[in-house]
Structure 1
Amino acid sequence: MSKLTLGSYPHLLGFEQLERLLERTAKSGNEGYPPFNIEQTSDHSYRITLAVAGFGEDDLAITVEDRQLVIRGRQKDDSDGRIFLHRGIAARQFQRTFVLADGVEVGEAIMENGLLHVDLTRSVPETIVQTINIKKG
């Protein structure tokens, strides 16, 4: 059985980049940590919320790289001289990646009660009708 690709559909022209984005997202290795929510806050805006308890603003980095929102967390090791009888609070580094569609812009990021909120807005492209003249050959 052959693998179906977007290139297999003759009416979908120029979607090769979308196929590469899907493959890259599948390989990104996002594990289940930290947990997150994605909510639609209006017709053209979204909010990603990550549970980052124990992380401070200085422990987090948010970047946009090649149409991907990348959120990284790395805590400093503050266990010097401390003896843990049980350590159940995760203190590991993480990287979460979200692929952004064309026209999606990253807004502000807010840290609140151990939750990191990242707001996104999607601009609505205007509809353009273009008439193509036919020349005699």
Structure 2
Amino acid sequence: MRTYDFSPFARSAIGFERLFDLLNAQVAETPDNFPPYDIVRTGEDTFRISVALAGFAASEIAVTAKPNLLVVTGRKAAPEGGQHYIYQGVSNRSFERRFNLADYIVVEGAAFENGMLHIDLVRHVPEAMKPRRIDIVSSAPPREDKRLEGAKAA
């Protein structure tokens, strides 16, 4: 298992431990490309995950949203005993695909049509977390510059 040393970043990045752990976990995983998927940014704060699920029915697919994690699972029903494939190009295996989500990303909805599962995601940042301008107030009255007064008199 290969991991990276993020300690130089950790010196000045506070609260990013989860991100560093996720990066190390992604490196350690063996790549499994089934089922194929696309992730598309559809707006400033909206995203869509499209998963190609040829041969699956909507009843065989489950989409589960957990905090910072989206899990898509597919469980194929057992094939009927009378079928004998000469060639089977359409995958008939079960799967579990996990997507790590950033903070405040929520699942808006999911739709299944023509063998494609579309999952819409939205970033809902609470008002308290959005940037806001802080007014600066001065408790002491402004000082007059003595040099400026001398220059005016001359």
TM-score scaled by length of structure 2: 0.74
Q: Secondary structure at the match of 1:70?
A: strand
Structure 1 or 2: larger strand share? 1
What is the Cα deviation at residue 27 of structure 1? Answer: 3.7
Two-structure CA RMSD over aligned residues (Å): 2.0
Q: What does residue 80 of structure 1 align with?
A: 81
> In the alignment, is residue 126 of structure 1 matched against residue 126 of structure 2?
no
Q: CA deviation at 1:47?
A: 0.3
**Structure 1 residue runs without a partner (length 5+):** 132-137
Aligned to 1:8: 8
One-letter code aligned to 1:85: I
- Equivalent residues of 1:75, 1:91 under 8 A apart: yes
Identity, % of aligned positions: 33
Q: Deviations over 1:89-122 (max 9, x none)?
A: 1101111111100010011110010000000001
- Distance verdict in 2 for CA 1:116–1:89, change over 3 Å: same
Name the stretch that deviates more: 20-29 or 111-120: 20-29
Q: Which has the higher helix share?
A: 2
- The answer to which structure, 1 or 2, has the higher relative contact order (CA under 8 A, 6+ apart) is 1
User: In the alignment, what sits opposite 1:135?
Assistant: none
Question: After the TM superposition, which parts of structure 1 deviate over 6 Å for at least 4 consecutive aligned residues?
Answer: none
CA deviation digits over 1:45-87, x for unaligned, max 9?
0000000011111111111234111111111112311122222
1:39 corresponds in structure 2 to 40
